[in-house]
Amino acid sequence: MLNERVEKALNEQIKKEINSAYLYLSMATYFESENLNGFANWMKKQANEELNHAMKIYNYVFERGGRVELQAIEKPKCKWDSPLAAFEEAYNHERFITDSIHKLYELSLEEKDYATASMLKWFIDEQVEEEAQTEQIVNKIKLLSKSPNGLYILDKELGARD
């Protein structure tokens, strides 16, 4: 059985993961409006991944006999000044999610909920990858900004994401 504080925090994390998906889907619409379909593809795949994260927590709550209470999600921003600005926001958002998961992990240890702590280790490892990927794209955009063909090349690369 889940501790009440842990259950509440897990429900909050489900909301954050769904908000992440919504934000990335909004970024995909921005990129499509800019004819950067590869960038849009990358963001759509990322949105789907975030929904999968939410479902992983959702299923876990039920496995532990808890109750999922879905919460309202916020309307995401829909325009950015540049592809760089969008990916910088994505990187900062991933850092926010990492911090949230770390706090949830700390809470699970504080409450001696070792099963939840164990489950959250997967998310901790996943966030290392999430941050690294988005930071790498930010750095590539900066590097390629001096090349007239750079954005086109990166768009092709991001379009290849499965």
Q: 86-107: per-residue pLDDT in tens?
A: 999 999 999 999 999 999 999 9
Q: For residues 11 and 80, what is the distance between their CA atoms, to the nearest angstrom?
A: 29
Percentage with pLDDT > 90 across the chain = 96
Question: Is 147 a residue whose pLDDT tops 90?
Answer: no
Q: Which residue has the tokens 């999600």?
A: 73
Query: By CB neighbour count within 10 A (0-12 exposed, 13-18 middle, 19+ buried), where does 111 fall?
Result: middle
Report the Cα 126 to chain-centroid distance in Å: 10
Q: What is the pTM of this model?
A: 0.95
CATH for the stretch 4-159: 1.20.1260.10
Query: By CB neighbour count within 10 A (0-12 exposed, 13-18 middle, 19+ buried), where does 100 fall?
Result: middle
Question: Is 10 a residue whose pLDDT tops 90?
Answer: yes
Q: For residues 46 and 21, what is the distance between their CA atoms, to the nearest angstrom?
A: 7
Q: Which residue has the tokens 């927590």?
A: 57
Q: Using one digit for the tens of pLDDT, what is the confidence trace for 49-89? A: 999 999 999 999 999 999 999 999 999 999 999 999 999 99
